[in-house]
Amino acid sequence: MFDLRYVFSVRHSRHRFAEQVATRMTDPSQAPADAIPQSWVDRVPPRMQPYLRLMRLDRPIGTWLLFWPSVFGLAMGAAAQQRPFLSWLSDWWLLLVFALGAIVMRGAGCTYNDIVDRDIDAKVERTRGRPIPSGAVSPKQAAIFLIAQLAVGLAILLTLNWFSIFLGAASLILIAIYPFMKRVTWWPQAWLGLTFNWGALLGYAAVTEHLAPAAYVLYAGCIFWTLGYDTIYALQDIEDDALAGVKSTARLFGTRTPFYVFMFYLMATALILAAGVSVRLGGPFAVMVLAAASHFVWQIRRLQRNLNDPACALHLFRANRDAGALIAAAIIMASWIS
């Protein structure tokens, strides 16, 4: 039977979202804190905007942080074969495949996370403007959109070798569990590390068709990297998280957060360095990794001076796009030199 209540609710949601878009365009202060002001998403037709925001396409940093570990794995896999990365046409194809996969799967993960966390998001200042808690998209519409994204992700995954296909499918277990971890443990950032860096394993396997110790060491290093940057990210929401009963390493560490982030970054650097050495990247790689290490030191020093500044936390979190680029450049350049 045709339900008029559903029609009216959808119309109300669209009108409400249109009002929010208009407010953001006239008053940038009303935009979500971690969104890029006046991004290209604001210029597409209003009907499309809430779905693009569900994918976080107005906040590309998450896509970069999902993409870089894949590049690490791809380049490390080529180095394990004792050849320069991007010296084969297939390397360029894989780079494109993983870039598209990062966009789609980050979008799917965010959509799923928003469906699960819609009640919590409504209680947190930074997230209450997201499409589902704001009413721009209903949970049912978001679920349909999620299925569509997963279908595209599967199509992308099927372009890889069979070992990588099964390995990529296994990551869905981590993705499915992640949104619930903040309710049961003080270490949801660790689970995010396991989930977000699966591309390091997948990239290595896409090149070599197997996994080796170097891939696991690289994966471990990336997990510590995520522990560092996502702890910084969680500093933005400490007060709201406490009220909502959400756990995080930022709440756990408190004023000792800079020390723990330093230790996470130190472990990340050491393990990534060890992975490179194990595939014979050698001295040039070690020297170039120092650039990323210096970037981590800069983050720690800024964090120490601005521990209670949410804007600084967001800035440092976003800066990890550049840290990832430095690590990727070190692996790729060293694969050509060694």
Statement: residue 73 has pLDDT above 80? yes
- Residue 23, judged by CB atoms within 10 A of its CB (0-12, 13-18, 19+), counts as middle
pLDDT given for residue 42 in this prediction? 87
Write phi, then psi, for 273 (nearest 5 degrees). Answer: -60, -45
C-alpha closest to that of 159 among 98, 109, 110: 98
CB 123 within 8 A of CB 240: yes
Burial class (CB in 10 A: 0-12, 13-18, 19+), 325: middle
Number of H helices, E strands in the chain: 17, 0
- What was the pLDDT predicted at 22? 42
Structure tokens belonging to residue 143: 């679920």
- Closest Cα to residue 49, out of 109, 162, 136, 156? 136
Rounded mean pLDDT of the chain? 89
Give residue 33's pLDDT. Answer: 53
Given a cut of 70, whether residue 14 has pLDDT beyond it is no
CA distance 333 to 313: 31
d(CA 35, CA 62): 11
Q: Which of 37-46, 81-90, 240-249 has the highest mean pLDDT?
A: 81-90
Confidence at residue 8, expressed as pLDDT on a 0 to 100 scale: 38
Dump pLDDT digits (tens) for 33-50.
555 666 788 888 989 999
Q: Give 135-152 pLDDT, tens digit per residue.
A: 899 999 999 999 999 999
Residue type, 185: T
Do 194 and 174 form a contact (C-beta atoms < 8 A)?
A: yes
Residue-level pLDDT at 40: 86
- Mention every residue, 6+ apart, whose C-beta is less than 8 A from residue 21: 42, 46, 49
Question: Per mean pLDDT, which range of 19-33, 227-241, 276-290, 291-305 is the poorest?
Answer: 19-33
| Whether this model's pTM surpasses 0.85 | yes
CB within 8 Å of 330: residues ≥ 6 apart: 276, 285, 288, 289, 291, 292
The CA-atom distances, in angstroms, between 51 and each of 63, 108, 138, 155 are 16, 11, 11, 20
Per residue in 108-133, pLDDT (tens digit) is 999 999 999 888 888 887 888 889 99
What average pLDDT does the segment 166-189 reach? 95
* pLDDT tier, 13 (very low <50, low <70, confident <90, very high otherwise): very low
* Of the candidates 185, 150, 182, the residue with the CA atom closest to the CA atom of residue 169: 150
Is pLDDT above 70 for 24? no
Average pLDDT value for residue range 175-193: 94
Considering the chain, what percentage of its residues have pLDDT values greater than 90? 78
